[in-house]
Amino acid sequence: MAAMDHLSDDIIVERIFRVCQEYRNGAIDSSVCADGIRVIVSEIQQASSDGIGDEIDVKNLLASRYAENSNSLTNTARSLGCAASYVADVMHGRRSPGPAMLTALGVVKETKYRRWR
């Protein structure tokens, strides 16, 4: 698949959960599921001028971690050191990832300032 010009949160989450659902239904094994998630994350990174840089990408990193943890919110939360409900909220865009989750995912939040003219 080629990199996409525009990736909305809904499209990304839908694609990731479709891959995870195929795994749960037994249509694909865990390595194919993880590869599918990696492809989606790669497309996002290619579409973004500066790589990992916004919540869309963080949600995909989180979804990749979810796939690596056998599609288990409990295991994913344990690996990140946070509550399963918090992981679900971030994955569905109801909450923003906090510093502890970002650190566990290897991501740093940056704030940029630009001169306004």
Q: Is the dihedral of CA 44, 38, 29, 68 positive or negative?
A: negative
Query: Which pLDDT does position 73 carry in this prediction?
Result: 92
Confidence of residue 8 (pLDDT cuts 50, 70, 90): low
Residue 68 lies in a domain: yes
Q: Which domain holds residue 83?
A: 9-105
CB 102 within 8 A of CB 58: yes
pLDDT digits (tens, 9 = 90+) for 34-68: 888 888 877 776 665 444 445 557 888 888 899 88
Per-residue tokens: 71: 């599609």
Residue 34 lies in a domain: yes
Of 6, 111, 101, the C-alpha closest to 63 is: 101
Residue 117 lies in a domain: no
Residue 61 lies in a domain: yes
Residue 88 lies in a domain: yes
Of 107, 97, 54, 57, the C-alpha closest to 77 is: 97
Confidence of residue 3 (pLDDT cuts 50, 70, 90): very low
Domain tally, the chain: 1
Residue 116 lies in a domain: no
Query: Which pLDDT does position 15 carry in this prediction?
Result: 85
Residue 4 lies in a domain: no
